[in-house]
Every structure is written in C-alpha cells, then in structure tokens.
C-alpha cells in the first residue's frame, strides 16, 4: 500500500485540532497515564537538575506535566512556564495549576518559541517533542531559550513494538480501516525512536554532552476495558469519522473488541493489564558561548 503524502501545514493544523479534541477525554485517563508517567517525570527532573529558584520551560505540556512537578521543586523563588500547541490542553493545565503563583501555561508551538534568548535554566518535555516537523530547528530554538550550559531533559517514545501502551490500539484500528502506512520520517509518536538519529540532531543543533538512555514506563491498567476506554479517548476525530463511515459507528463493537483482545497477552492473572513501554530519555547541554 502506498504511504500518504506529508503536508507540513495541514499536519500542524490537524495536530492542534486533534489535541484540542482529545483534551476533554484525556483528563478521564490522566490518572492512569500520570501514574505510569510519574517515574519518567521524576527522572526528567533529576536529569535536568531542577532545583529551587530556577526558571523552567515545559514544552508540549498537555494537561500540565512535568510543569506541575517542576513548580513544586523550584518554589516561590523560581518560575515554570508550560507551553502547548492546543489551547484546550492549556486551559485544562491552568485548571490544575490554580492557586500556584510560580506557574503559568501559555499556548505556543515548540517550533516557533518567542521567548527572549537565555530565558530558562532548564527545558523539560514529556512526550511533547515528537510532533515537530523540523527537529533540528526545534532543538536550535530550545538551545536559544536556554542559558548557556542550561539543560534539556526530554522523554520520547521508542519504536511501536516496544510501546504497547501507545501502539496496540492504533495498530488494530489502522488494520480495520486499511490505513496506508505513515510516510517515512513523518512526525508522530514514534518519530524520535532512533537514539542515534536523535543524538545527531541534538548535536547538529549545537547541544553538547548528549546522552540518550532507555527507561521502561510501568503502565498498568485495571482491565482490558480500561485500555479500550483509553484508546477511545486518544484516537483523533478523523479516525472516529472513518470508523463511522466504514462500520456505521465510531463505537463499532467488533473494532473495540479487537482492541481489547490485543492486550490479552499482557493480562496478568488477577486481571490487570501491564503494558511496560520503552521511552528514550534525552539529556543535553545548551552551547556555552
Ligand atoms: C502525548 S501529549 C503529552 C502531554 C504531557 N506532556 C504529558 O506527558 O501528559 C503531547 C502534547 O504535545 C502537544 N504538541 C504537539 N505538537 C506540539 C508543538 N508543535 N508545540 C507544542 N506542543 C505540541 C500536544 O498538543 C499534546 O498536548
């Protein structure tokens, strides 16, 4: 099957619309996602050496992590800014941050940051970088907003076979809809899964001391039903429309039963579903001078 042609302008437009649409449901799954993601957040904070008094930027913050956790560390003498492309994600992050004076959330694109140079001591991102169209340019602009020697710490996904939490449901739906494969190199959840390529891109953008390590994210869901609910939340509206057109309903029972079956091999004797998923953690130092 031929792959679909990639249109960067349309892609950005769709990203914003998709994440806006996902934001309401995302909160209903936030507990599962944040429980699994919490050790990643802790590791990112450690890798970036976040400490009291620092200015921290979180890109692709979604509903607010790791910005919220960073704000608890930097304290009243520090400041955290979270940015996200999707205004509806930002409004949910703001709800979660209510009453915290050292934290602000703004709508913005990681590929066109308009902060002054050297605005931040550290940049964090938990699964917010993989949707950039030009990653080297994105890393350059992150280097620019960091102080010389400032730290970038970010989590991205490894390849789909190692990330069942994010890939299994989509693979089932893609098969049911006979979707063409994504164009090679297109931005998406798994676009930064090759450690050598990502390391080279960081170096090309001027970052030094680049380290890429592997981290197993311990996602556990209470049942296959919960996995189905999670996927119903995170699939973009366009796929729901395609399911409706093809099977008469976005809730097509056969499709969702197949999504549930996909996690059977991951079901534990007591019924929970363990979907340990491999993330790559990037740590890099902004150029000095
Ligand atoms: C997988 S979510 C991660 C959210 C959050 N960091 C977390 O770990 O729960 C990815 C987020 O990246 C945002 N995003 C995608 N492309 C972006 C861009 N070019 N600039 C800023 N944010 C972007 C999406 O709107 C979405 O909220």
Between CA 57 and CA 42 the distance in angstroms is: 16
* pLDDT tens figures, 240-280: 999 999 999 999 999 999 999 999 999 999 999 999 999 99
213 pLDDT exceeds 70?
Answer: yes
Of the candidates 81, 80, 82, 78, which has an alpha carbon nearest to the alpha carbon of residue 54?
78
Cα of 58 vs centre of ligand 1, distance in Å, is 10
Q: Give pLDDT, residue 26.
A: 84
Q: Give pLDDT, residue 8.
A: 86
1 pLDDT exceeds 50?
Answer: no
Sheet with 55-59, side-by-side order of all strands = 103-107, 79-84, 55-59, 120-126, 146-157, 277-285, 208-217
195 pLDDT exceeds 90?
Answer: yes
Between CA 67 and CA 152 the distance in angstroms is: 14
Mutate to test the pocket of ligand 1, among 17, 65, 85 (most ligand atoms within 8 A of CB): 85
CATH class of 8-159+183-219+277-285: alpha beta
CB atoms within 10 A of CB 99: 5
Longest CA pairwise span in the chain (Å): 60
Kind and range of the H or E run holding 163: none
Q: Give pLDDT, residue 3.
A: 53
Ligand 1: does its nearest atom lie under 6 Å from the Cβ of 110?
Answer: yes
Pick 259 or 181 by higher pLDDT: 259
Between CA 272 and CA 219 the distance in angstroms is: 10
Residue nearest to atom 1 of ligand 1 (CA): 127
Residue nearest to atom 13 of ligand 1 (CA): 60
CB atoms within 10 A of CB 32: 18
User: What six digits make up the tokens of 8?
Assistant: 């960067």
The residue-averaged pLDDT of 147-161 equals: 98
Cα angle 231-233-237, degrees, rounded to a multiple of 5: 105
Q: What residue ranges do the domains of the chain occupy? A: 8-159+183-219+277-285
Please, what is the average pLDDT of the chain?
95
């Amino acid at each position: 099957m031929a792959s679909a042609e990639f249109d960067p302008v349309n892609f950005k437009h769709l990203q914003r619309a998709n994440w806006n649409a996902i934001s309401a449901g995302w909160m209903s799954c936030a507990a599962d996602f944040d429980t699994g993601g919490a050790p990643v957040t802790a590791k990112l904070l450690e890798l970036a050496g976040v400490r009291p008094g620092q200015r921290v930027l979180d890109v692709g913050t979604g509903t607010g992590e790791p910005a919220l956790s960073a704000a608890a560390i930097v304290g009243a003498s520090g400041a955290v800014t979270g940015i996200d492309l999707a205004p509806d994600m930002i409004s949910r992050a703001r709800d979660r941050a209510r009453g915290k004076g050292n934290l602000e959330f703004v709508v913005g694109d990681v590929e066109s940051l308009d902060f002054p140079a050297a605005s931040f001591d550290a940049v964090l991102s938990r699964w917010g970088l993989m949707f950039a169209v030009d990653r080297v340019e994105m890393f350059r602009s992150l280097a620019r907003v960091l102080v010389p020697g400032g730290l970038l710490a970010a989590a991205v996904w490894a390849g789909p076979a190692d990330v069942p939490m994010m890939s299994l449901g989509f693979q089932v739906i893609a098969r049911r809809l006979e979707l063409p494969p994504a164009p090679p190199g297109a931005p998406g959840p798994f676009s930064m899964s090759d450690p050598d390529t990502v390391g080279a891109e960081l170096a090309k953008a001027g970052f030094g001391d680049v380290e890429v390590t592997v981290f197993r994210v311990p996602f556990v869901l209470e049942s296959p039903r919960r996995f189905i609910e999670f996927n119903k939340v995170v699939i973009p509206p366009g796929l729901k429309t395609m399911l409706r057109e093809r099977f008469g309903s976005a809730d097509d029972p056969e499709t969702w039963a197949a999504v549930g079956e996909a996690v059977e091999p991951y079901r534990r004797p007591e019924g929970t579903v363990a979907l340990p998923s491999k993330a790559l953690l990037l740590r890099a130092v902004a150029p000095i001078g």
